[in-house]
Each structure stands twice: as C-alpha cells, then as structure tokens.
Chains A and B, each alone.
Chain A
Amino acid sequence: MDPSSTTALVDLVHRAQRGDEPAQREIIISYQHRVAGFVYAMTGRSDSVEDLAQQVFIKMIRAINGLQAPAQFESWLFRLARNTCIDHLRRQKLRRIFLPFAPEHEDVPEPSGAVDTEELDALRYAISQLRPQDRALLALVQEGRSHAEIAETLKTSVAAVKARLHRAREQLRQHYQSDHET
C-alpha cells in the first residue's frame, strides 16, 4: 500500500487508533526509513538512529489516539520526531557538562559503509555545523513538508520559516562547499 495516498493513509491511521497491530506495523514499516533519515540528519550519529527512531514510533503508538486529523499524520509524526531529537540533543548537552569524559561524547568517526561517498561526507560535515533548529528545518523540507506545515510545527509564521530556511540553506551550502572542495 502506498501511504502517500491520503485516503489509504487516513484509513490506516484510523485502524491504528483502534489498536489494530498490523496497521501499526504497516505504518512503522512505511515510515521507518524516512524517520531514520530525519533522526540522522538531526543528530549526525548513526549509533543514535535505531534508539531514537524506536522512541519516536513508541510515542506515535501511545499518542496516536489523540490525533484529531489523520490526514495530517505525516506532519504530526515528523513533529514527534523533531521534538524527540531536540530533547535528546539537550540531554546530551547536559551530560557533557556533568560527565565530560563519557564515551558517548567522543567524536567517533562514522563507520564506513556501502553508501560512503564524498558527497555524503561533505553533507554530514555541513549539517553538523548547523544549529539543531536549522537541521530540523532542512530535514523537514527534505521530507517534503510545506512551509505552512513547518510553520505549524515550529509555531511560527510562514515568513519566518522562509527567512530561516534561506539562511540555513546558505550556511549549509557554505559548509558543504568548503568541505567538498578540500
């Protein structure tokens, strides 16, 4: 089933809200890769992806009954993902203060893999130079969220989103090009 079809998505969400486990599983399978990509863009650490993605989907299962507009499921899910990642980054920041030498704070280089390319390394570096709020903004745009949806998620105006997006893209491009050319 292609969840991008709104009617099918609404039906799937309704079934999940009634506690239908196969429907919940289908939602997870349909969105897990996109959520994983979003989490990785926010945190920059592959060792955080599985744990945070799991947290996002557990929160989704527990809170889905409160979703009044199933057609807005995707915006709602990525809002959950963004908030989960922001909370995680804040906790990490606090832990750095109290446990400065903990192993999770070491800058461990990302393990190499089948999709290792210069472009990917350059993008990883560029994203890591941005503030978490700007990473979230760019990741939401990459997920196909409209400016209006992003404004709703961030509780701000569409004009503010456009301005911040423009600045974030400029910064990303500068860091991407500086790393890509070295």
Chain B
Amino acid sequence: MKPENEAWSQLREWAAAQLPPNFADRVLRAARAGVDAAPSLLSQFALGAATAAICFLTVAFFQARGAHEEDNRTIADWQQIASAADDSGLSQ
C-alpha cells in the first residue's frame, strides 16, 4: 500500500495548491457578509414543492372563479330566455 499512501499525500498537496493564499480572509469576509453556504438538497426540494403548490392553488383559484362567472352568465342567459318565453306566452 506504500505507493498509495504517497499518492494520498500528493493528492492532499495538489488539493491544497487549489486554495488561494488569502483563503482564510476570504472565508471570514464571506461569513461576515452573510453569504449563504449552498442550500441543502432538502431546502431546495421544499422550495420547489412550495412553489409548485402556490402555482397549483393560483391556477385552481382562477379556474374556479372563471367557472363560477361562466355559470352566472349561463344562468343569466337562461333567465333571459325564460323571461322572453314568459313574455311571449303572456302576449299570446
């Protein structure tokens, strides 16, 4: 396993070289500025589910309101027809 242990050391050395010299200061600045760490998967799913629920409720609300108005128009039309029929019946 010795070559692998050396390789692990090299891997750490390689990774460490990816950090800038002022990495610690950048972290502290970001923490002070309130920069959020990436949201967790759960919070992202929760946000997606909440968004989908709001969209669905909005569509359902306007659908129901539209159907209600359509019903009212239909009823008004039939009332008009019935009224006209009554008038013509009376006139006869």
| Interface residues in chain A, defined as those with a beta carbon under 8 Å from any beta carbon in chain B | 21, 24-25, 28-29, 32-34, 36-37, 39-41, 46, 49-50, 53-55, 57-59, 61-62, 84, 87-88, 90-91, 94, 113-115, 117, 119-120, 122-124, 142, 172-173, 176, 180
Contacts and interface: CB of A to CB of B under 8 A. Distances in A.
A32 B11 contact: no
Say whether chain B's binding surface is mostly helix, strand, loop, or mixed: helix
Interface residues of B, number: 31
Contacts of A36: 12, 15-16, 18-19
Contact of B10 (A34, A50, A88, A115): A115
Nearest to B17: A113
Contacts of A46: 14-15, 18
B38 A91 contact: yes
A122 B25 CA distance: 34
Contacts of A117: 7, 10
Contact of A50 (B23, B28, B44): B23
Chain A binding surface, main DSSP class = helix
Interface string B15-59: 111111001111110110001011011001000000000000000
A114 to B, nearest CB: 7
A90 B10 contact: no
B61 interface: no
Interface of B: 1, 3-4, 6-8, 10-20, 23-28, 30-31, 35, 37-38, 40-41, 44
Contact of A33 (B4, B16, B40, B41): B16
A21 B28 contact: yes
A104 B87 CA distance: 76
Contacts of B30: 54, 58
B31 A62 contact: yes
A88 B38 contact: yes
